[in-house]
Amino acid sequence: MEALRAALYAIVEAARPCSVRHVYYLGIGRLWAKDTGGSRRNYSTVVRELGYMREHGILPWEWITDGTRMVRQELQYDSLNDALERTAEAYRRNLWASQSRRVEVWCESDSVGGVLLPVTTAWGVGLYSCRGQSSKTYVYEAVQEYARLGKAVSIVFAGDFDPTGRAVPRSVVERITRYGNGHRLDVQFEQIAVTADDVRSGQFTTHDVNTRDVNYKRYREECLREGLDPHNAVEVEAIPPGLLRGRLDTAIEALVDDARQWNIAARIEQAERELLRTLPETVNGLMRRAGVELDGQDGDE
C-alpha cells in the first residue's frame, strides 16, 4: 500500500493540478488495469487512496481539483479598507478588449475545467463547463451576449471522443447558427482535445463505445470517414493534464492578433494595479482627517 501511495504521489505531483479521474487514467497500464464490465474496483481504489493521502497530510489538497463546488453569493467585504486591498490584489484589465476577437474556453465536464483553469486564469478568458450536452438556454444566452458585444468570437473546446462528446461541438455550432440568425455572428469553434489524431495515435487509453447511445449512428459515420474504429472511444481525462494545458495555452496565444496592443494594455494594467495598492493608505489618511475609520468604527473625534 505504501508503494501504491508513493506511485500516486508521483503521478499527481507531475500532473498537478489534476482531477481524480485524470490520476486513474494516468495509472492505467502502469499501476492497474482499466476497469471493465461495469466494474469500478480500480477507480474506487484511486478515489479512496487519494482521499486518505489528503486527509493525512501526505498529499496537498490543492493538487487535486474539484470543479463541482460552486458558491452563489454576492461579493462582500469586511470594510472599505478590505475592499480596496482585495481589489488591488484581484484587479485585471480586460486585455482582450484590445483584440479583434473575444475568446472563450468550453469543456465537457467540471473535472476537466479544474485542470484547464490555471491557463484560462493566466490569459483572462472565460471558462465554461457544458456538463455534457449544452442546453438550449446555455447556448442561446451565449449567442445573445455575442450579439451584444458585437465582436467575432473564438471558442476553444475540450471534450471526449465518444458519441456524446462528438455531438457537443456539432450541436453547439448548429444552435449558435440557428439562434444567431439575423445577427451575422462570426463564431469560430476549435476542438483541442480529444481529436481524431489523438485517437489515431494509439497513445491514449480507449474504452468500448456505448452503441445504444442515441448519437452512435453519427459517431460511427464520423469514425469511418476518419478511418477510425467506431467501437473505440477516448475520454479527455486520458490525456495528461500537462499536455492539455499546453495545447490550450498554444491555442489561446495564437488568437492574440495584435501583440503590440496587448503589451501596451498589459503595461497599463500593471501601472493601474500599483496605483490601486497605494489607495488604502491614501484613503485612510483622508478618512482619519474626517474623523472616520475605514473599519466602520467611529474615530476619536
The rounded average pLDDT for each run of 10 residues, N- to C-terminus, in the chain (301 residues) is 95 94 92 89 95 95 80 84 88 95 92 93 93 78 90 95 90 87 85 96 93 94 96 94 97 97 96 90 81 56 41
First and final C-alpha spacing in the chain: 67
Kind of pairing between the strands at 232-233 and 207-208: antiparallel
At 209 the pLDDT is 93
Report whether 230 contacts 223 (CB < 8 A). Answer: yes
At 264 the pLDDT is 97
* Three-state DSSP class for residue 193: strand
At 299 the pLDDT is 47
Angle at alpha carbon of residue 300, lines to 294 and 301, rounded to 5°: 100
Which DSSP letter does residue 112 get?
H
Rounded Cα distance, 154 and 104, in Å: 6
Rounded to whole angstroms, what are the CA distances from 211 to 166, 218, 258? 14, 11, 46
Residues 6+ apart with CB under 8 A from 49: 1, 4, 5, 8
Residues 6+ apart with CB under 8 A from 63: 12, 13, 16, 17, 18
Rounded Cα distance, 163 and 170, in Å: 11
Crossing angle of helices 20-27/110-123, nearest 10°?
A: 110
CB count in 10 Å sphere of residue 282: 11
Report whether 175 contacts 139 (CB < 8 A). Answer: yes
What global pTM score does this model have?
A: 0.84
CB count in 10 Å sphere of residue 71: 4
